Amino acid sequence: MAVQIGTRHRLLSRLTVAVLVDKEVLTPGTSRFLKGEGDSPLVNSLRRLVARVVVGPYTDAAGLLQWIEKVKPDVVFNLTEHVEGDRQKDSAICGLLDLLELPYTGTGPRGLMLCRDKALSKLIAAQEGFKIPKFFVVEKASPRLPQGMTFPLVVKPRFDDASVGISQASLVRTKEALLRRIAFLRQSETKKIICEEFIAGREMLVGVIEDRIMPVRELFIGRGSKSAPRLISYRLKHDRQYQRRWSFRTDFAQLTPEQERRVKKLVLRTCCALDLRDYSRLDLMLTPTGEWVFLEANPNPGLYPFKRSRYGIWSDIDFDRLIERIMLRALRRKP
């Protein structure tokens, strides 16, 4: 459904937008973001675009219902990532909004559940044409390991996100190291674990807004040092001093026309199959032989202006226009 520019701006100027966030990103008892939390640019953009913006934390289902009744939003900008630390339950928040017939931004319950499962999402991506790492899952304290395993392997939680549970020790090269890492994760209350083939190559990030592919970004670590980290660990993603030590950065990927054509086709097909909506990011590897390997899909990734972003994936669109498009997309789903 096309919306004319004048009509679009009149619509936006009347909107009330509720920004729903995880409670730990706000100063307790307020709607102010803690220092260092990254959603302030998004809220500032919304305030430039719409009549009223209200920021609130998700506490529980009853609290959400009361908040919605009080705010009476036209659309919810959903920035939540978990329920009480469980990333598998963020889909329940979207399910509740669906029952209320209240439009909200981002991926819905089905897409969230598919993408949170690193095993299932890989199988779906493989059906759409991506190469995927060989993998197996571990669910018991004394696992039966498959025959003919090839090392090295990457051992990580099956359902967590944002590199939670991943360190350089997650890369194992022997059966003994594999069993130690599985035991370590289980001690940290990780019940389901995925062990996947380590794929060497160039690690890429691809942002998607609706059906528009952003320019591919490449991750760089260590400026070619042999001792540089081999994995994008939780520490590498969140510790700025560690990032500076290893010159962790992103830049526009240098790709051939055929590589660009191929990755765009695979990304669009896979986003559709995973039921990703509005905006998303796929993490990929490009092997030395030119194969595109699917690592994982990220529904509702961070939204930041290009120059203030860690990864710079929203490089090909004005930030206010990006936020506007996401909101209008959500409003089209209003019953």
Report how far residue 282's alpha carbon sits from residue 85's, in angstroms, rounded to the nearest whole number. 23
Q: The whole model's pTM is what?
A: 0.92
Domains annotated for the chain, with CATH where assigned, are 5-106+323-332 (3.40.50), 113-132+199-314 (3.30.470.20), 135-197 (3.30.1490)
In this predicted model, what pLDDT tens digit does every residue of 235-263 receive, in sequence order?
998 888 999 999 999 999 999 999 999 99
Report how far residue 131's alpha carbon sits from residue 270's, in angstroms, rounded to the nearest whole number. 12
In this predicted model, what pLDDT tens digit does every residue of 173-203 receive, in sequence order?
999 999 999 999 988 878 899 999 999 999 9
In this predicted model, what pLDDT tens digit does every residue of 263-322 receive, in sequence order?
999 999 999 999 999 999 999 999 999 999 999 999 999 999 998 888 999 999 999 999
The pLDDT value recorded for residue 1 is 44
Report how far residue 185's alpha carbon sits from residue 165's, in angstroms, rounded to the nearest whole number. 7
Q: Which residues in 242-278 are b (16+ Cβ under 10 Å) and which e?
A: ebeebebbbeebebeeebeebbeebbeebbebbbbbb
Does pLDDT of 333 surpass 80?
yes
